[in-house]
Amino acid sequence: METPTSDFQNLFKLPWTTFDNPNGWIEPTTYCQLSCPGCYRGLASPNPLRIHQPLHKIKREIINLIKIRNIKILAIAGGEPLLYPDLDNLVTYANKQGLQVRLLTNGVALTKDRLTKLKKLGVTEVVIHISEYQKRPISQKIKKINIEREKYCQMFRETGGVVLNFIMTVSKTNFVQVPTIIKFYKKNSDIISRVIFTLYRDVLFSKDQEENIKNYISLSSLVNLIKKSYAVEPCAYLGQTLIKQNPSWLFFAPILLGTKTIGYADNKTIEKLHLKSQSNSWDSFPAGKNGQNLIKSISLLSLPTAQNIFKGYLGNILKNPKSLLTNPNCQTIIIINTPTLTNRGWNLCDGCPDAILYKNKLVPSCLLERIKHRENISLN
C-alpha cells in the first residue's frame, strides 16, 4: 500500500536520524484502565502482562537517551503513565535534565488539580488519546466523545501553560467520523496545538497468521481528507527506511482564524524554522498561545506563506469584520504512516521519533512486542 513519491518530493525532509533526534520515548508502566482494539502493547489481549518499571531503571534510560540521541523532549507513554506511582518523581527528574516533558495519556485519570501539579513539576505538553473505539467510561457515540474532548479543552484553557494535543488511530471503521472530529479540532484551535492521526495497522499477528488488512485505510485517503477539510497542503515529512522518499510522518501546518484556514506554512518556512532552532526543529513552530508565537515567528515565514496568510486574513476580515478580534492560530496536523512488513523486512519510520531502549538497543516502540518474542528488529 505504497504512496507515490512524486507528491512529497518538494517537501522539507526533517533531518532527524536514529542517533540525532529531539524525541525520547519511555514506557514506565504497562498498566492501563482501557483495552483499545489494536493496542500495539497488546493490552487488549487476554491477561496482558502489567508491570511498573523501577524508577532507577527509567532514570538510567533517560540519561542514555540524552547521550545517544541528543534528545530535548521526553515522551512518557505506556500503558497509562498517570497510573505510574513514581510519575511525579520521574517528571521532576526529567525536568532537572533540561528536558521538555510530553505526557501521552488516555486522560481518564486527568483532573484539573492533577494537571496543575504536573505543570508545576515540569510537564510542558500532553497528548490525549481519545476515540469512540475505546472502552471508555462514557458513551461510544461520536457526539459524546466530542463532549469529552471539550472537557479537556476547557481544563487546559483554565490551567494554561501546557500544550494540548489529541491523537487517534484511523481505520476503515472510524474513517467516516474523522470530518466531524476535524470540525471540533478547528473550532478549538485556540487551545489544541497538534492533532495526530495514526494509520491503523495489524502489527501483532504471529508468524502462523496472515496480516489482517481488512480495516486498513490508505495514506492517500487520509491525506486527501486532511487537505480538503483544512484547505491545506503538507509541508514536511520523515521518510521510510526502505522507501526513503515516501512519508512515514507527514506534517501540515494550517493557520486558522476561527475555523477558517487563512494560509499555511510551506516547506521553506519549515526549513527556516529548523535552521533557526537546530535540534528543536519542529517544536519551535508556534504552539500554545499560537497567536502570540505566530507573530514572534513572522520573520521566518517564506514570502509565499506570508502573502497567502495576509490575503486570507484580509479576505476573512472583509467578509466577517468581527473576526478582527480573533487571534490567528497554528494547528499542526501529523499523519503517522505506521510501519508495515514487506518481503524485504519491516518498512520503518526513518529516524524513528518514538524509538525506545530495549536491552540497551534502540528499537521502534510500536514493534516492541514482536521484538520481545525474539523477532530481529533494530534501529542500531
pLDDT of residue 284: 42
**Following DSSP, what letter does each residue of 22-74 receive, concatenated?**
SEEEE--B---S---TT-TT-TTSSS----BPPHHHHHHHHHHHHHHH--SEE
Helix (H) or strand (E) holding 249: strand 249-252
Of 206, 175, 249, 196, nearest to 341 (Cα)? 206
Q: Please state, in angstroms and as integers, the Cα–Cα distance from residue 280 to each residue in 16, 80, 246, 350, following that order.
A: 10, 26, 23, 18
Task: Spell out, as residue ranges, where the chain has pLDDT lower than 50.
Answer: 1-5, 279-292, 295
Task: Tell me which DSSP letter residue 358 carries.
Answer: E
Separation of alpha carbons 167 and 180, rounded Å: 15
Q: Which amino acid is at 5?
A: T
CA-CA distances (angstroms) from residue 339 to 19, 52, 241, 360?
19, 27, 9, 22
Among residues 294, 280, 255, 233, the alpha carbon closest in space to that of 23 is found at 280
Whether the CB-CB separation of 294 and 225 falls below 8 Å is answered with no
DSSP-derived pairing of the beta strands 345-347 and 340-342: antiparallel
Pick left, alpha or beta for residue 98 (phi over 0 → left; psi -120 to 50 → alpha; otherwise beta).
left
Question: Which CATH entry fits the domain spanning 5-251+338-372: 3.40.50.1820, 3.40.50.720, 2.40.33.10, 3.20.20.70?
Answer: 3.20.20.70
Domain locations in the chain as residue ranges: 5-251+338-372
CA angle 141, 43, 86 (to 5 degrees): 105
12: which DSSP letter? E
DSSP per-residue letters across 99-162 = -EEEEEE-STT--HHHHHHHHHHTEEEEEEE--TTS--SS--SHHHHHHHHHHHHHHHHHH-SS
Rounded CA-CA distance 358/372 in Å is: 9
Cell triple for 64: 542514555
pLDDT value, residue 4: 45
> What pLDDT is attached to residue 139?
57
* pLDDT for position 38: 76
Q: What is the predicted pLDDT for the residue at 78?
A: 93
State residue 2's pLDDT score: 47
> With a threshold of 0.95, does the pTM exceed it?
no
What does the alpha-carbon distance between residue 265 and residue 9 come to, in Å, rounded to a whole number?
A: 16
